[in-house]
Amino acid sequence: MSEPQAAQKPERVYSAMARPGLRLLIPLVVACGMFMENLDSTILATSIPQMAESLGENPLHLNIAITSYLLSLAVFIPISGWVADRFGARSVFCLAIAVFTLGSALCGLADSLPMLVVTRILQGLGGAMMTPVGRLIMLKSFPKSELVTAMSYVTLPALIGPAIGPLVGGFLTTYISWRWIFYINIPIGLIGIALAFRYIENFRSATQSRFDFLGFVLCGIGLASTQLGLEYAGRHLISNALEAAILAVAALSLAAYGFYARRKPKPAVDLTIFRNRIFRIAVIGGAICRTGLGALPFLLPLMLQIPFGLSAFRSGSITFVLAIGSMVMKTAAPPMLRTFGFRRLLVGNAVVVGLMTMCLALVRADTPHWLLMVGLLVFGFFRSMQFTCMNALGYADLTDANVSTGSSVASVGQQLSQSFGVAIGATLLALFSGGAKEPAAADFVPTFIAVGMLPIFSLSFFTRLKPEDGSQVSGHLAQPAARS
């Protein structure tokens, strides 16, 4: 046997390319889990008054039902990559959907606030595994040349879920019962499990490290404290001293984990992945951009319902057009990336979505609904384009050796940045309203301008991209520089 023949490795066969139908089926199976997780992140807000009345609680106390879910996500997402490598991506993905579905059913049966909080934490445990493991399945099922198209299908539920959450929540709560905002996940979950077992390969890592329990605890405390501190910031629900203590615990825990992770061979969250320049730009720049865009699902329905006086159902029927714009974008993303590449598209689109966010400050109570819906339709297109490009760029330069870590770290950044967006939007609104119980229309003007600046700030990262970065994913080939 000759030496070149001995060194030759067989070309990897991607499961999605083996059968044409799997190119659509695999993204749709992953989308089942992501749809439930993203729908649940917004559907609860419209039902809080009815839930509080049913459980005999003050509506302000129901904030813990939202916070407990977000805290559970923040704590458990970092270990998703290790769990998937150890037990198999398909097995963990199916178990995550089952846990989330069980948690949803128990939330619907809750007869007290403590029971609701416990079952929401169980939901969060399932949701923490669904999203990053689902992305890991995509990365191992498709070659990089097909990743943008495949990720376009997967990111669609991430945009549709928050868009239709207020509409679905308002309808179910008004005409049936708030408990059905949780029961709706049961059939979706069962379908997702059945399809996953049928069509998804059970990917495992060739090498498996020991679980880093101490790192998991330090990272979990840090992320949970950060999320909790931002949730309470500016809302005057706890004392200033307690809020400062929570933020101090967050800073100390994250600093301790950073010190610990540099000396641990296989930490719970491997921060060395940020040495990858493209990944670093995609995650950090994307987090800044997502924080600004993540405030919209909270701020826009609130403005339409409180100062403008629309019902929850009517408000949801207006904001739903954001999802329509997202759907239109899905066919446009691959050819636009081939034409312009990641750098030009992310830089130009960050400016567009930032300015369009600021333009929401111009909306008034007498603004024609058709005009607002047209604007949101266009906004939904560019907002979805930015999310799709940021998601795909993050995985453009990863290998089989670090894709699990990259998926977990990217998912943590995406989840926290969207949650931070809600927290920052609420804090700014409370600041500009002077602590009033109900904000006025004028209070939303500076709030939208402020959160619209965040996508503009993300340019400080996206402009560091090279024209050829991510070309394996985008299909864009940079023109060679002209010789002098």
Retrieve residue 452's tokens: 């619209």
SS3 call for 260: helix
Cα-Cα-Cα-Cα torsion 203, 156, 142, 455, nearest 10 degrees, comes to -100
Most confident of 220-229, 256-265, 322-331: 256-265
Quickly tell me which residue has 């500016």 as its tokens.
234
Across 399-405, average pLDDT: 72
pLDDT in the model for residue 454: 95
Across 411-433, average pLDDT: 79
- pLDDT mean across residues, the chain: 80
pLDDT in the model for residue 14: 61
Across 337-355, average pLDDT: 92
pLDDT in the model for residue 41: 65
Percent of the chain past pLDDT 70, that is, above it, reads 83
pTM value is 0.74
pLDDT in the model for residue 462: 94
Concatenated DSSP letters for 414-457?
A: HHHHHHHHHHHHHHHHHHHTTT-SS--HHHHHHHHHHHHHHHHH
Q: Are residues 97 and 196 in contact, defined by beta-carbon separation less than 8 angstroms?
A: yes
From residue 315, alpha-carbon distances to 31, 302, 361, 432 in Å are 25, 9, 17, 23
pLDDT at 480 over 70: no
Q: How far apart (Å, rounded) are the C-alpha atoms in residues 224 and 31?
A: 26
Across 305-326, average pLDDT: 79
User: Predicted confidence band at 345 (pLDDT cuts at 50, 70, 90)?
Assistant: very high
pLDDT digits (tens, 9 = 90+) for 274-303: 888 999 999 999 999 999 998 887 788 778
Quickly tell me which residue has 């000759």 as its tokens.
2
